[in-house]
Amino acid sequence: MDWYQTLLGYLNQSNQRIIVNLQGRRAWCLSRLVEMQAMQDSILLSNEGDIVSSIPFSKAEMLLGQETGTVVYDGFSGINIDVLCMAVGLIRAGGVLFFITPENFEQMEDVYGRWQGRVNRQPYFLRYLFQHL
């Protein structure tokens, strides 16, 4: 995973942050993160509960005011825009937010759309989000 080390070097030199979207099966996404050693000293936001160190979306507020170099947002748990914004705010300069999602984003739960009372199942917000990533 030389590209990841190169990216980290660039981000540290330029004091920038970036979002990296990994799309595929969840197990594949997690294994790539382990391969890159991105899971070490990172914060994992996930409602899945299969990784002991993960923090459920409902407890993400307790992280406010902290900074870290790597955050993993588990899109397989659905999109909660408030938690996604909190995740972005946790990244310090030179850091990476890994956004892991299914290959077909329409398989994801659109919590934002449900909150807006959308009766139809059109993932308008998710389309917008993925068009702009």
pLDDT digits (tens, 9 = 90+) for 2-35: 888 899 899 999 999 999 999 999 999 999 998 8
Q: Tell me the one-letter amino acid at 67.
A: E
Average pLDDT over residues 41-67: 89
63 in Cβ contact with 43 (< 8 Å) = yes
pLDDT in tens, 66-97: 999 999 999 998 888 889 999 999 999 999 99
pTM: 0.86
Average pLDDT over residues 51-57: 88
Phi and psi for 28 in degrees, rounded to 5? -65, -45
Phi-psi region of 117 (alpha: psi -120 to 50; beta: other; left: phi over 0): left
